[in-house]
Structure 1
Amino acid sequence: MRTSFKQDITDQDDFKRKLLLWSQQFREVTFMDSNNYQQEYSNYDWILAVDAFTSIKTDYFNAFEDLKQYQQFSKDWLFGYLSYDLKNDTEELQSNNFDGLGFPDLFFYQPKKLFLAKGSQLEIRYLHFCDDELEDDWKEILSMGSDFETKSSKVNIQQRISAKSYLEKASKMLDYIHRGDLYEANFCMEFYAENAQIEPMEVYLKLNEISKPPFAVFFKNHKQYLLSASPERYLKKEGDTIISQPIKGTAKRFSDPEEDEKSKNELANNAKERAENIMITDLVRNDLSQTAQKGSVQVTELCGIYSFLQVHQMISTITSKLDPQHTAVDALRFTFPMGSMTGAPKISVMKIIEELEETKRGLYSGAVGYFTPEGDFDFNVVIRSILYNQQNHYLSFSVGSAITSLSVPENEYQECLLKAKAMFEVLK
């Protein structure tokens, strides 16, 4: 059980910064920020959860069943992530590529201390046994300076797949498509740095500032960090309603308003980008139907165009009603990994991805989110993100694009570089 307190916050940005700095003393931290992006399905503007009371950490084997039991037993707020390699739990698949990060496949925890913000109203929920710490915590938070000592980053970024190799691999993917083995595949490549030394909070704040996405996350599990500027929702459950919002289709932003509007319109009318989006929308409809009440799967928006600071994106929204015989974790298991990060048909694509990519995806193209005590949840897609293992000083970020029969490998490579731009910028 939790004790709940309410406070009014006038200067949101200053308070968020203080709270983030205060949170760094804890071993487990999850900060999720919508950056005031007016999302139709958002419950909170931002959330902070710190300090695990209980937790679950596992590899992919039986992972969804373990998570289901943990979630149903705790009936509390839980925060954590699903890595891409949980695909090996649901299908006869393997992940044998190089992994420099070494994160667990699944990690969730029950936080002792929780902060939930909507507008100027802040709700604080502490587990009963530590609610006597709130007054001292509150004083400490308010006394935090909103600045902190910056450290110079030492990062020498390398590319796992060279430009030449990328073009060869993308062409091979096209061969698979022309043979009829698949229709679309999200092909990704890693940028990485060994012996990297960064201040994770500083890098996260910079990345968030230049992107301001609706699904930003700062996640810390001891020495393992995710610094995410994700624009994409994977899956949300509210009551018996399930919402998926896959992104497929990307275009540049321009400082000149006319040029920017032209880029946006070209994306909206681009046959290749629309085909990509519609294929994944169909895949998501099929995934949702496995746990849905009959006839409840609906496409509520097809190929909508949304503008973010770095790029324009094409987003569709698909909803369903969860059949009472299925649990919250079932809804995740039957749709994971998200179609926007695999392609279609899903299992064939995941096998070919494993063959052509050179890095184990891990948390990249997985999901970070939370469960509520009522069994609702909200998860993002881990893209536009930096992963960092502070213990072995390994830093990684990956980018990808969808290969279809209409793809030109050189254009796909340029799209990858466009998506990597923000990460390069903050690691200079």
Structure 2
Amino acid sequence: MNKSKLKWLVAGSILNNAGISFIWPLNTIYMHDHLGKSLAVAGFVLLIDSTTTLIGNFFGGRLFDRIGGYKTVLLGLFISIISLIGLVFNHGWPHYAVFLAILGLGTGILFTSINSLATRVSGYDHRYVFNAIYLGLNVGVAVGTSIAGFIADINISLIFIANLLLYIAFLMIVLLFYKDMGATPPQSESNGLSEARNSNEGKRLIHVFIICFVYFVVWIGYVQWQSTISAYLPKVNISIKQYSFLWTINALLIILGQPLISLMIKKLAHTYKIQIYVGVMLFVFSFMVLIFSQQYIGFMAAIVLLTLGEMFVFPAIPAMINAISPSNAKGSYQSFVSMSSTLGRALGPMLGGVIVEQLSYVHLYLAAIILMVISVFIFHYKFLKIKPENIESKRFRGDV
């Protein structure tokens, strides 16, 4: 796929994530306040949604390798649109839970498919490509969450109609511009090359699982900001409006800080390994700041460090996985990336809640720090003796 198609891939990422962000912030509120369900029931529904998303991540990658990216994206869109049509006409109980689970399956397929299509873009360093996808993701999240609030104030039922329109727009872009994006799976390798690759498959998968373990741990820490930390802020007299502004800082830094991050990657973190080291350590510093934060300024400093950390780590992980994955299994390997982030988002709030209830917030922050240090130590130890050309790309080129 030539680089002229990258803009449409990013557009798809924006629309997909804007659509997801229309619903996820309101799920618990809608089920509890409008459908009259307990928080436990709402939590169980969200667990089912995460499970179907995980299934979608898994099959999205494998379908990409077998039937091609175009058909896989269409399948994900078809499932998502069908579920949203169902939600438009019936968003009562238990239909809401059923259609939400189906939507999770569709969006799970789409998320992996977009990352997998990014592996086919030529003409750019792949860190540039995945950084562009990551930027599109965050633009979509920022747009989706901000617009969803205004629509919900008018009538929360309009959320489902607006979401459906977003996915129809995504479908139009796919039909017009995606047909030659990974329309068919790659050619099979010769027997000799295939045998050589198979002999190293076990070692390669170990590398992939270690990289994804780092991603999983980072997401467990990251999602605390959306769950346990958000619940803690009112206890130190920080309002919901101030909490929302922290995410405004996050979005502005991601969008406006790209030139600075690109320069830092070029000068200081020009390999995948260094980029991941720097990003994870920024996450660690963020939680260190949280340990001592009782004033709003402390949480602002922590969110800045967290945002800088994600700007290093989140694009580097899928790009590094792409660098070590065989050409005929790009989708399957990218599915591991999607699944690790989905698992982190699903398990993080539960684990964080247990630690806070049994111990304290300080213990939660310490646990996050220890987990991240252990994950990066395992990552460093495992990749220490691997030749750079086998695991890393050339020096980073390009700015987003």
Output the TM-score relative to the length of structure 1: 0.24
Identify, as 1 or 2, the structure richer in helix: 2
Output the TM-score relative to the length of structure 2: 0.25
Instruction: State the structure with bigger RCO (CA 8 A, min sep 6), 1 or 2.
Output: 2
Identify, as 1 or 2, the structure richer in strand: 1
